[in-house]
Amino acid sequence: MKGYLSFMMLWLLSKHAMSGSQLAEEIARRRGGAKPNPGTIYPALKVLRVKRAVTIKVSGKRKVYYLTDYGRKELDRNVQRFCKMFYDVFTEE
């Protein structure tokens, strides 16, 4: 789940900046209601921050996460891996 979660967070942040709670809500919406808890979201965001894939800007009481240039490259690499891994699943008859 963590690899998938990081991939999903990078992809969502490529669309627009979000807070951790907004990310959790959007992931829940896309997964059909299973909302990841803060103990899952924030450690994953911390790893992405340490890797310099995301950066934080404080807006009032909220921390808003933004994708960095490195994060965009990491997302592109993950998309390529995903496509290579699952290509046959979508093309088999």
Residue 93 banded pLDDT, cuts 50, 70, 90:
low
Domain harbouring 87, CATH code: 1.10.10.10
User: Tens digit of pLDDT for each residue in 33-47?
Assistant: 888 999 999 999 999
Does residue 86 carry a pLDDT above 80?
A: no
Q: Which span out of 25-29, 77-81, 82-86 was modeled with the highest average pLDDT?
A: 25-29
| Domains of the chain: total | 1
User: Tens digit of pLDDT for each residue in 45-63?
Assistant: 999 999 999 999 998 889 9
Residue 19 banded pLDDT, cuts 50, 70, 90:
very high
81 backbone φψ class: left, alpha, beta (φ>0; ψ -120 to 50):
alpha
Domain that holds residue 19: 2-91
